[in-house]
A and B are shown apart, each in its own frame.
Chain A
Amino acid sequence: MRTLTALALGALMLGAVACGGPYPQSTLDPAADFGSHIDELFRWIFWFAVGVFVVVESLLLFVVVRYRARPGAPEPERVHGNTLLEIGWTLVPAVILILIAAPTMQTIFRTDGTPPEGALEVDVIGHQWWWEYNYPELGITTANELHVPQGRPVSLRLTSRDVIHSFWAPRLGGKRDVIAGRTNRISFTADSAGVFLGQCAEFCGESHAKMGLRVFVDDSVTFTQWVAGQRAAPPSADTLPDLARRGWEAFRLIRDPASNSCIACHTVQGVSGGVLGPNLTHMGSRSTVAAGALPNTAEGLARWLRDPPAEKPGSKMPRIGLTEDEIAALVAYLQLLR
Chain B
Amino acid sequence: MAEHVAPAAGARSGIWSWITTTDHKRIGILYGVTAFVFFLIGGLEALLIRLQLASSQNDLVSAETFNQLFTMHGTTMVFLAVMPLSAAFFNYIVPLQIGARDVAFPRLNAFSYWVFLFGGLFLNASFIAGPILGADSLSVAPDAGWFGYANLTSRAYSPGFNVDFWVLGLQVLGIASLAAGFNFIVTIVNLRAPGMRLMRLPVFTWMTLVTQFLVVTAFPVITIGLVFLMFDRFFGTNFYQVSAGGDLLLWQHLFWLFGHPEVYILILPPMGIVSEVLPTFSRKPLFGYAVVVYSGLLIGVMGWGVWSHHMFSVGLGPIPDSVFAGTTMLIAIPTGVKIFNWLATMWGGQLRFTTAMLFALGFIAMFVIGGLSGVMHASPPADLQQTDTYFVVAHIHYVLFGGAIQGIFAGIYYWWPKMTGRLMNERLGKTHFWLGFVGMNLAFFPMHFIGLLGMPRRIYTYGPELGLDSLNLVSTIGALLIGVSILVFAANAWWSLRHGETAGNDPWGAPSLEWTISSPPPAYNFSVIPEVVSRLPRWSRTQMRAIPDVPPEPVHVPGGSFWPVIAALGIGVLATGALLHTLWVVLAGAAVLVVAIYAWAFEPFEV
Chain A contacts to B: CB under 8 angstroms: 5, 9, 12-13, 15-17, 19-28, 35, 37-38, 41-42, 45-46, 49, 52-53, 56-57, 59-60, 63-64, 67-70, 73, 75-82, 85-86, 89-90, 93-94, 97, 100-101, 104-105, 107-113, 128, 162-164, 166, 168, 170, 173-177, 179-182, 184-185, 197, 199-210, 313-314
If A69-B350, A313-B63 touch, does A90 touch B470 (CB 8 Å cutoff)?
no
Is the C-beta of B138 less than 8 angstroms from some C-beta in chain A? no
Q: Which of B249, B313, B539 contacts A174 (CB 8 A)?
A: B313
By the criterion CB–CB under 8 Å, are A9 and B332 in contact?
no
Q: How far is the CA of A75 from the CA of B283 in the complex (A)?
A: 7
By the criterion CB–CB under 8 Å, are A59 and B285 in contact?
no
Q: Which chain B positions have C-beta within 8 A of A170? A: 385, 454
State the Cβ distance, A206 to closest chain B Cβ, in Å. 5
Q: Which chain A positions have C-beta within 8 A of B336? A: 89-90, 93
By the criterion CB–CB under 8 Å, are A166 and B388 in contact?
yes
Q: Which of A49, A81, A179 contacts B314 (CB 8 A)?
A: A179
Q: How far is the CA of A207 from the CA of B318 in the complex (A)?
A: 32
Given pairs A42-B385, A90-B337, A112-B318, 8 additional interface contacts (CB within 8 A) = A16-B446, A21-B453, A25-B454, A56-B368, A60-B365, A78-B539, A168-B456, A202-B313
If A67-B348, A86-B337, A170-B454 touch, does A205 touch B284 (CB 8 Å cutoff)?
no
Is the C-beta of B457 less than 8 angstroms from some C-beta in chain A? yes
Chain B minimum-CB-distance residue to A164: B149
Chain B minimum-CB-distance residue to A313: B63
Q: How far is the CA of A205 from the CA of B365 in the complex (A)?
A: 37
By the criterion CB–CB under 8 Å, are B452 and A26 in contact?
yes
By the criterion CB–CB under 8 Å, are B248 and A205 in contact?
no
By the criterion CB–CB under 8 Å, are A76 and B368 in contact?
no
If A164-B152, A203-B149 touch, does A76 touch B455 (CB 8 Å cutoff)?
no
By the criterion CB–CB under 8 Å, are B287 and A25 in contact?
no
If A20-B468, A45-B376 touch, does A76 touch B151 (CB 8 Å cutoff)?
no
By the criterion CB–CB under 8 Å, are B285 and A182 in contact?
no
By the criterion CB–CB under 8 Å, are A164 and B151 in contact?
yes
Query: 17 A-B Cβ contacts within 8 A?
Result: A13-B474, A16-B470, A16-B473, A27-B454, A38-B384, A49-B372, A49-B376, A53-B369, A57-B368, A63-B346, A86-B291, A97-B332, A112-B318, A163-B151, A174-B383, A179-B314, A181-B247
Q: Which chain A positions have C-beta within 8 A of B347? A: 63, 67
State the Cβ distance, B338 to closest chain A Cβ, in Å. 10
Q: Which of B350, B382, B449 contacts A70 (CB 8 A)?
A: B350
Interface-central residue, A27, A28, A57, A73, by most chain B CB under 10 Å: A27
Q: How far is the CA of A15 from the CA of B466 in the complex (A)?
A: 16
If A20-B468, A46-B376 touch, does A76 touch B157 (CB 8 Å cutoff)?
no
Q: How far is the CA of A93 from the CA of B338 in the complex (A)?
A: 12
Q: Which chain B positions have C-beta within 8 A of A49? A: 372-373, 375-376
Q: Which of B63, B329, B352, B449 contacts A314 (CB 8 A)?
A: B63
By the criterion CB–CB under 8 Å, are A64 and B351 in contact?
yes
Q: How far is the CA of A107 from the CA of B449 in the complex (A)?
A: 23
By the criterion CB–CB under 8 Å, are A104 and B380 in contact?
yes
By the criterion CB–CB under 8 Å, are A108 and B470 in contact?
no
By the criterion CB–CB under 8 Å, are B333 and A97 in contact?
yes
Q: Which of A16, A37, A57, A69 contacts B365 (CB 8 A)?
A: A57
By the criterion CB–CB under 8 Å, are A60 and B454 in contact?
no
State the Cβ distance, A58 to closest chain B Cβ, in Å. 11
By the criterion CB–CB under 8 Å, are A60 and B248 in contact?
no
By the criterion CB–CB under 8 Å, are B322 and A105 in contact?
yes
Q: Which chain B positions have C-beta within 8 A of A13? A: 445-446, 449, 471, 474
By the criterion CB–CB under 8 Å, are B333 and A185 in contact?
no
Q: Which chain B positions have C-beta within 8 A of A46? A: 376
Q: Mark B360-399, 1 if CB is under 8 A from A, else 0.
A: 0100110011001101100111111111110000000000
State the Cβ distance, B107 to closest chain A Cβ, in Å. 40
By the criterion CB–CB under 8 Å, are B350 and A175 in contact?
no
State the Cβ distance, A236 to closest chain B Cβ, in Å. 38
State the Cβ distance, B323 to closest chain A Cβ, in Å. 10
Chain A minimum-CB-distance residue to B147: A203
Q: How far is the CA of A255 from the CA of B315 in the complex (A)?
A: 43
By the criterion CB–CB under 8 Å, are A77 and B348 in contact?
yes
Q: Which of B233-267 contact A (CB under 8 A)?
A: 242, 246-249
Q: Which of B145-163 contact A (CB under 8 A)?
A: 145, 149, 151-152, 157
Q: Which of B332, B348, B372 contacts A79 (CB 8 A)?
A: B348
Q: How far is the CA of A105 from the CA of B326 in the complex (A)?
A: 9
Interface size class of B (residues with CB under 8 A): 35 or more
State the Cβ distance, A1 to closest chain B Cβ, in Å. 9
By the criterion CB–CB under 8 Å, are B375 and A174 in contact?
no
Q: Which of A20, A104, A176, A314 contacts B379 (CB 8 A)?
A: A104
Is the C-beta of B127 less than 8 angstroms from some C-beta in chain A? no
By the criterion CB–CB under 8 Å, are A181 and B288 in contact?
no
Q: How far is the CA of A202 from the CA of B457 in the complex (A)?
A: 8
By the criterion CB–CB under 8 Å, are A203 and B152 in contact?
yes
Top 8 A-B pairs, shortest CB-CB distance:
A25-B454, A174-B384, A209-B459, A184-B315, A81-B288, A313-B63, A181-B242, A89-B340
Is the C-beta of B232 less than 8 angstroms from some C-beta in chain A? no
Is the C-beta of B441 less than 8 angstroms from some C-beta in chain A? yes
Is the C-beta of B321 less than 8 angstroms from some C-beta in chain A? yes
Q: How far is the CA of A164 from the CA of B332 in the complex (A)?
A: 31
Q: Which of B343, B456, B460 contacts A63 (CB 8 A)?
A: B343
If A46-B376, A175-B384 touch, does A75 touch B453 (CB 8 Å cutoff)?
no
By the criterion CB–CB under 8 Å, are B382 and A41 in contact?
yes
Q: Which chain A positions have C-beta within 8 A of B383? A: 174
Q: Which chain B positions have C-beta within 8 A of A209? A: 63, 458-462
Chain B minimum-CB-distance residue to A21: B467
By the criterion CB–CB under 8 Å, are A76 and B348 in contact?
yes
Q: How far is the CA of A101 from the CA of B346 in the complex (A)?
A: 32
Is the C-beta of B29 less than 8 angstroms from some C-beta in chain A? no
By the criterion CB–CB under 8 Å, are B456 and A201 in contact?
yes
State the Cβ distance, A326 to closest chain B Cβ, in Å. 27
By the criterion CB–CB under 8 Å, are B452 and A67 in contact?
no
Q: How far is the CA of A111 from the CA of B381 in the complex (A)?
A: 7
Is the C-beta of B465 less than 8 angstroms from some C-beta in chain A? yes
State the Cβ distance, B194 to closest chain A Cβ, in Å. 23
By the criterion CB–CB under 8 Å, are B315 and A37 in contact?
no
State the Cβ distance, B219 to closest chain A Cβ, in Å. 24
State the Cβ distance, A328 to closest chain B Cβ, in Å. 27
Q: Which chain A positions have C-beta within 8 A of B494? A: none
Q: How far is the CA of A79 from the CA of B343 in the complex (A)?
A: 13
Q: Which chain A positions have C-beta within 8 A of B442? A: 9, 12
Q: Which chain B positions have C-beta within 8 A of A93? A: 332-333, 336
Interface-central residue, A28, A46, A209, by most chain B CB under 10 Å: A209
Q: Which chain A positions have C-beta within 8 A of B285? A: 78-80
If A200-B456, A209-B461 touch, does A38 touch B381 (CB 8 Å cutoff)?
yes
Q: How far is the CA of A248 from the CA of B70 in the complex (A)?
A: 43
Q: How far is the CA of A37 from the CA of B385 in the complex (A)?
A: 11
By the criterion CB–CB under 8 Å, are A175 and B446 in contact?
no
If A63-B347, A73-B350 touch, does A177 touch B382 (CB 8 Å cutoff)?
no
By the criterion CB–CB under 8 Å, are B248 and A101 in contact?
no
Q: How far is the CA of A18 from the CA of B524 in the complex (A)?
A: 62
Q: Which chain A positions have C-beta within 8 A of B64? A: 206, 313-314
Q: Which chain A positions have C-beta within 8 A of B364? A: 60
Q: Which chain B positions have C-beta within 8 A of A38? A: 381-382, 384-385
By the criterion CB–CB under 8 Å, are B282 and A108 in contact?
no
By the criterion CB–CB under 8 Å, are A67 and B346 in contact?
yes
Chain B minimum-CB-distance residue to A69: B350
Q: Which of B157, B348, B372 contacts A162 (CB 8 A)?
A: B157
Q: How far is the CA of A305 from the CA of B388 in the complex (A)?
A: 32
Chain B minimum-CB-distance residue to A314: B63
Chain B minimum-CB-distance residue to A19: B470
If A89-B336, A100-B375 touch, does A203 touch B145 (CB 8 Å cutoff)?
yes
State the Cβ distance, A322 to closest chain B Cβ, in Å. 23
